[in-house]
């Protein structure tokens, strides 16, 4: 076990409001940090804002104010949202702070003195929204940015360059010899693919005549530093590089960068080569998570589908929103946001499973033991079965968190709660009460309460306020409720018999989905005396075999599309399952299919398959599958259903 744990988020541009993507990254970092603290490590989290560059300068000019005034106003939006979301970051850095600018200038001067920065002429294209340089061959349709598809500006000007190209072979070798350095693995392959092309030196300056809002180069007062070169240094300037060597060495040795997949290249190529040039060791890992999509579309202001976290907090509450975020996305994969999916997850996991279990245990303790937690008697096999599952889950949770699978770890914890609800059905404490078997009833209610104590401790990093409330309901004082550690979560009989439990309103009140709300309103409406004549709509039906028929409308609700298999691998521990990364038009998805006995991963890569594209995502062996492929089986023979006539593009409708 590492003694320290240092996790960073990207620093966010201050030119717009924070959205669900910013929230996911920051909540995920906060939860990971809290879990590592729970594991006994000295955990430290950094977040902040990126406040230099042409994008910020233009946004400030549009508002008729100085860039620093714009930054001072906009940064508050992030700080207030992180506070609202319960983010427990140790530091918040702004790139306009003197402590950061001082270190950037020191690094620039050192690299310049060692001839790792030189002056030359830049000829190429620049995308202002992305703050990125591109060569002619990178562009789409002659002038469009390959990342955001917007027009770029052609530049020809004197600039300073960092000798990034000389580190190409070193970086390729480092990535290949350090598995897990870039996660998930397919992101490492993306970086290696980029490096196998020509790697040029990095332009790191702007003439003040074109851009004045930036850190002035210490060796040339007529130029300012490129925003990405400036911004990446925040990860070391904030923890004492050049000012507090003891703190810096302690934290940097266990550093982990959490980023979105859109900034993979700038981090795994720019930042790694910068660190090598500075003379610093590499961070422990980069983890690039996917994007939140809205109803399978990429979120964007132009489409008007950007989700405001404040709106979601108003519906779910802070802790439930954190829970739905962390469990709704498989880290590394894209996830589709819908109000309905969040509501279903909230009602199922929190209102029905966890909230219902707490209500059962507490209300019966109040009713039959005057609100005092009863002392258990002899444990029976059914009690020990739940006890063993509850005591074991801390280990599986830790393994999943350390392997960057917090969603799967939390799912294991929720499964304990589901087992606890089944335990209540098996033991039927209400029947025990009617029979007057109070000793057995005491054991059942104590077992249920101890299970809730363990589960609430393991969910504390995800939902700190709600789990504190739950634990205090079980009779724990505030200190016991908030000071959670794995040692106590791996022991039984921690709750003290005789403690006073508290009756509370529903911990997670059920939220009614929109269709249920509409139905309820319809049922409440007064019945009209005059009945209107109803016209029957004739619906064509189609036979599907045997006696079963479906309407043609029902049939066409299923969306069949072509998909291209990009990557494939076997699912660990499952001899029939393949996990595939597929392309469906412009979208990428993950698919799990039971075809491993008929097709090897190598045989699947590059194939065009047919999938059910609008199937609700499901977890298979704990791995999310976003669709289903079509195949035909006869006896032991299985064959994929494919397209006749060769190579068809992905995303084409079938039917």
Q: Give the model's pLDDT for residue 554.
A: 54
Give CA–CA dist 133/526, Å, rounded.
Answer: 65
Q: How many angstroms separate the CA atoms of 343 and 321, rounded?
A: 10
On the question of pLDDT at 467 being above 80, the answer is: yes
Query: Of 274, 182, 169, which is closest to residue 228 (Cα–Cα)?
Result: 274
Min mean pLDDT across 102-106, 208-212, 388-392 is at 208-212
Q: Does position 531 have pLDDT exceeding 50, yes or no? A: no
* pLDDT higher than 90, residue 520: no
Average pLDDT for 537-556: 43
Q: For strands 42-50 and 91-94, give the pairing.
A: parallel
Q: How confident is the model at residue 413, as a pLDDT?
A: 97
Q: Give the mean pLDDT of the chain.
A: 88
Residue 127 forms beta bridges with which residues?
132
Is pLDDT at 522 greater than 70 in this prediction? no
Q: How far apart are CA 586 and CA 282, in angstroms?
A: 34
CB crowding 286-317: b at 16 or more within 10 Å, else e: bbbbbbbbbebeebeeeeeebbebbebbeebb
Average pLDDT, integer, range 194-223: 94
In this structure, of 206-210, 297-301, 470-474, the range with the lowest mean pLDDT score is 297-301
- Mean pLDDT over 566-588 rounds to 84
Residue 51 has pLDDT above 90, yes or no: yes
Whole-number Å distance between alpha carbons of 453 and 493: 10
Q: What is the mean pLDDT of residues 61-71?
A: 93
| Residue found by looking up tokens 């508290």 in the block | 502
The pLDDT score that the predictor gives to residue 302 is: 53
Within 10 A of 525 (CB to CB), how many other CB atoms are there? 8
For 606, residues 6+ apart whose C-beta sits below 8 A from its C-beta are: 564, 565
Q: What's the confidence (pLDDT) of residue 535?
A: 38
Please report which confidence band the pLDDT of residue 521 belongs to, taking 50, 70 and 90 as the band edges: very low
Tokens standing for residue 404: 């960057």
Residue 137 has a pLDDT of 67
Long-range contacts, 96-99 (Cβ 8 Å, 24+):
96/51, 96/52, 96/68, 96/71, 99/237, 99/238, 99/243
State the pLDDT at residue 465. 96
Among 256-265, 300-309, 497-506, the minimum mean pLDDT is found in 300-309
- Each residue of 215-240: b (16+ CB within 10 Å) or e? bbbeebeebbbbbbbbbbbbbbbbbb
pLDDT at 649: 73
The 10s digit of each residue's pLDDT in 581-591 is 888 876 788 99
Cβ contact 442:450 at 8 Å = no
Lowest-confidence region among 180-194, 209-223, 294-308, 345-359: 294-308
Q: Is 94 helix (H, G, I), strand (E, B) or coil?
A: strand
Of residues 133 and 549, the one with the higher pLDDT is 133
Would you call the peptide bond into 184 cis, given omega within 30 degrees of 0 as the criterion? yes
Query: Would the pLDDT of 539 be above 50?
Result: no
Residue with the larger pLDDT of the pair 129 and 368: 368
Choose the CATH number for 336-489 among 3.30.70.580, 3.90.1170.50, 3.40.50.1110, 1.10.730.10: 1.10.730.10
The SS3 assignment for 632 reads strand
Query: Is pLDDT at 515 greater than 70 in this prediction?
Result: no
pLDDT of 647 higher than 80: no
Tokens of 517: 């709300």
| pLDDT band, very low/low/confident/very high, at 114 (cuts 50, 70, 90) | very high
Residue 554's SS3 state is helix
Confidence of residue 527 (pLDDT cuts 50, 70, 90): very low
| Residue 301 clears pLDDT 60, i.e. is over it | no
The rounded radius of gyration (Å) of the Cα atoms in the chain is 28
CATH placement of domain 554-654: 2.40.50.140
H or E segment and range at residue 487: helix 486-489
Q: What is the pLDDT of residues 600-638, one digit of tens each?
A: 887 888 788 899 988 888 888 778 888 898 888 876 788
Kindly tell me if the per-residue pLDDT of 200 is higher than 70.
yes
Higher pLDDT, 334 or 43: 43
> Per-residue pLDDT for 511 more than 70?
yes
Look at residue 104 and give its three-state secondary structure: helix
Distance CA(201)–CA(206), nearest Å, equals: 15
pLDDT bin (cut points 50, 70, 90) of residue 550 is low
202-211: b (≥16 Cβ within 10 Å) or e: bbbbbbbeeb
Query: Does residue 526 have a pLDDT over 60?
Result: no
Burial of 464 (0-12, 13-18, 19+ CB in 10 A): buried
User: Can you tell me the mean pLDDT for 559-581?
Assistant: 86
Question: What pLDDT is stored for residue 303 in this prediction?
Answer: 56
pLDDT at 170 over 60: yes
- Mean pLDDT on 280-296: 89
- pLDDT at residue 543 in the model: 32
Phi, then psi, of 113 in degrees rounded to 5:
-65, -30
Among 460-464, 590-594, 635-639, the range of highest mean pLDDT: 460-464
Q: In the chain, what are the domain boundaries?
A: 336-489, 554-654
**Residue 537: which pLDDT band, with cuts at 50, 70 and 90?**
very low
């Amino acid at each position: 076990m590492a003694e320290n744990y240092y996790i960073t988020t990207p620093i966010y541009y201050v030119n717009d409001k924070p959205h669900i993507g910013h929230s996911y990254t920051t909540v995920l970092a906060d939860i990971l940090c809290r879990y590592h603290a729970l594991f006994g490590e000295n955990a430290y989290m950094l977040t902040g804002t990126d406040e230099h560059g042409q994008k910020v300068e233009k946004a400030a000019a549009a508002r008729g104010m100085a860039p620093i005034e714009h930054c001072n106003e906009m940064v508050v939006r992030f700080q207030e949202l992180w506070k609202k979301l319960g983010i427990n970051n140790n530091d918040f850095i702004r790139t306009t702070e003197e402590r950061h600018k001082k270190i950037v200038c020191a690094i620039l001067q050192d690299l310049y003195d060692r001839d790792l920065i030189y002056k030359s002429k830049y000829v190429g294209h620049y995308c202002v929204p992305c703050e990125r340089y591109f060569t002619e061959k990178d562009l789409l349709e002659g002038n469009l940015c390959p990342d955001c598809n917007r027009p770029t500006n052609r530049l020809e000007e004197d600039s300073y360059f960092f000798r990034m190209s000389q580190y190409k072979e070193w970086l390729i070798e480092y990535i290949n010899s350090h598995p897990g350095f870039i996660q998930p693995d397919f992101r490492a392959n993306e970086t290696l693919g980029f490096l196998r092309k020509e790697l040029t030196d990095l332009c790191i300056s702007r003439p003040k005549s074109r851009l004045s809002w930036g850190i002035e180069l210490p060796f040339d007062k007529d130029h300012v530093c490129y925003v990405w070169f400036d911004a990446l240094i925040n990860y070391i300037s904030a923890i004492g590089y050049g000012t507090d060597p003891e703190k810096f060495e302690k934290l940097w040795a266990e550093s982990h960068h959490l980023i979105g997949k859109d900034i993979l290249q700038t981090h795994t190529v720019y930042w790694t080569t910068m660190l090598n040039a500075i003379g610093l060791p590499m961070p422990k890992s980069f983890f690039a998570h996917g994007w939140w999509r809205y109803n399978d579309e990429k979120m964007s202001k132009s489409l008007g589908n950007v989700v405001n976290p404040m709106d979601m907090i108003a519906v779910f509450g802070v802790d439930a929103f954190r829970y739905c975020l962390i469990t709704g996305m498989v880290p590394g994969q894209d996830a589709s946001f819908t109000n309905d999916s969040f509501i279903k997850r909230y009602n199922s996991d929190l209102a029905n499973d966890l909230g219902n279990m707490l209500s059962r245990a507490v209300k019966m303790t109040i009713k039959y033991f005057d609100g005092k937690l009863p002392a258990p008697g002899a444990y029976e096999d059914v009690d020990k079965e739940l006890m063993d599952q509850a005591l074991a889950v801390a280990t599986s949770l830790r393994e999943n968190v350390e392997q960057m699978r917090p969603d799967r770890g939390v799912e294991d914890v929720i499964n304990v709660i589901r087992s606890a609800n089944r335990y209540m059905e098996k033991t039927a404490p209400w029947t025990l009460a009617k029979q007057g078997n109070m000793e057995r009833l005491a054991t059942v209610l104590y077992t249920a309460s101890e299970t809730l104590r363990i589960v609430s401790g393991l969910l504390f990093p995800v939902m700190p306020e709600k789990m504190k409330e739950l634990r205090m309901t079980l009779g724990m004082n505030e200190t016991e409720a908030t000071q959670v550690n794995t040692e106590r979560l791996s022991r039984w009989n921690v709750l003290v018999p005789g403690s006073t439990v508290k009756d509370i309103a529903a911990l997670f009140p059920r939220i009614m989905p929109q269709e249920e709300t509409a139905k309820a309103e319809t049922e409440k409406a007064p019945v009209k005396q005059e009945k209107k004549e109803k016209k029957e709509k004739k619906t064509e039906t189609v036979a599907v075999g045997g006696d079963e028929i479906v309407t043609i409308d029902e049939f066409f609700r299923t969306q069949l599309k072509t998909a291209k298999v990009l990557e494939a691998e076997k699912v660990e521990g499952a001899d029939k399952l393949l996990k595939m990364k597929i392309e469906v038009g412009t979208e990428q998805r993950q698919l799990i299919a039971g075809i491993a006995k008929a097709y090897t991963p190598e045989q699947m890569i590059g194939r065009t398959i047919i999938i059910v594209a609008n199937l609700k995502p499901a977890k298979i062996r704990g791995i999310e599958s976003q669709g289903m492929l079509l195949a035909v089986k006869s006896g032991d023979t299985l064959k994929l259903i494919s397209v006749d006539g060769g190579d068809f593009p992905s995303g084409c409708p079938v039917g």
